Structure 1
Amino acid sequence: MRSRWGDRAAARLAYRLHRDRGSVTAEFAAVLPAVLVVLACCLGAVQVVGQQVRMTDAAADVARLLARGDDAGPASGLLAAVAPGTALTEERQGEFVCARLSAPSAFAPFAAAGLTLAARSCALASATASDDP
C-alpha cells in the first residue's frame, strides 16, 4: 500500500516530466545550426588541406619537368588538373630549378575569405637543361 507522501512525490515527478517535455527539442533546434556551421567549416578545412597537398605534389612534378629542360606546355596541363587559375613562377637558383605555384582556394567559404594557397619545390637541373641559356 502506498503512502500519501509517495503519491504526492509521484505526482510531482510526473508534473515535472510533463512540464519539461519539449525543452530538449527546443535546445536541439537552437544548437543544430551552430553544429552544422562547425561541421561545414571542418569539412571545408579538410578539402583545403587536400588541395594544398595536391598543389605541393604538382609543384614537385613541375619542378622536375622544368629541370629536365621541358617547356611550360606539359606543366600547364598538369596545373589545369590541379586547380583552375593556378599561377606558375619559375626560378633558377644555381643548379636548381624551382617552381612556385599559387592558386585561390577552390572551396566557397575559404575562397570568399580570400584564402590563397602556395607551394614551392625545387629539382636539380639536368646537365642538358643547365647548358641551355
Structure 2
Amino acid sequence: MRRCGTDLEQGSVAAELALALPAVVLTLLLGVGALSAAAQQVTLQDATADAARLLGRGESVAAANAVVAASASNARVSHELRGDLTCVSAHVEISVGRIISIPLTASSCALSGGR
C-alpha cells in the first residue's frame, strides 16, 4: 500500500494552525469589541433622549445627568436650548482592549415646556 505524502509533511497541519490561530482570535476579539461599542452607543443615545425629555418637562439638570450617568458613568454631558427645543449631548470614550479607544457621541432634543 502506498502512502500519500511524505514524512516531511507530517505535522504541517499543526504548524499551519499555530500560525493562523492568533489571527482568528484577534479577529474575534475585535468583532466582540465592535459589537460592545455599538451596544454602548445605542444605550448612550437612549439615555440622552431620556435626559432631553426630562429637561423638556422642567426636571432638574441633576436628574438628567443622573440618567446619562446610569448608562455611562464617565460620560461628559452638556445641554442647551435651541428655540423651543431642549437638547442634550453626551460624549464618552470606550476602550476595546488596551490599545483601541473609540469616542462615542450621542445627541437628542425634546420639546421644551411640556409639563
User: Normalising by structure 1, what TM-score?
Assistant: 0.78
Distance 1:45 1:33 in 2: 18
Among all aligned residue pairs of Structure 1 and Structure 2, give the percentage whose two residues are the same amino acid: 34
**Unpaired stretches in structure 1, ≥5 consecutive residues:** 1-9, 129-133
1:75-114 aligned at under 5 Å gives the runs 75-105=64-94, 107-109=95-97, 112-114=99-101
Give the RMSD, CA atoms, in angstroms: 1.8
- Structure 1 residues 15-24 or 63-72, which shifts more? 15-24
| Equivalent position SS for 1:85 | coil
Q: How does 1:1-133 map to 2 (within 5 A)?
A: 10-11=1-2, 14=3, 16=5, 18-105=7-94, 107-109=95-97, 112-126=99-113
* Bigger share in strand: 2
Residues 27 and 127 of structure 1, relative CA distance in 2, 3 Å threshold: closer
CA distance in 2, matches of 1:127, 1:58: 19
Larger radius of gyration: 1
Q: How many residues align?
A: 115
User: TM-score by structure 2 length?
Assistant: 0.89
Matches of 1:89 and 1:27 in 2, distance apart?
Answer: 52
Q: In the aligned structure 2, how far is the partner of 1:51 from the partner of 1:125?
A: 27
- Distance of aligned partners of 1:61 and 1:39 in 2 relative to their CA distance in 1, 3 Å threshold: same
Letter in 1 for 2:90: L
- Three-state SS of the structure 2 residue aligned to 1:48 is helix
* CA distance 1:34–1:121, change in 2 (3 Å): same
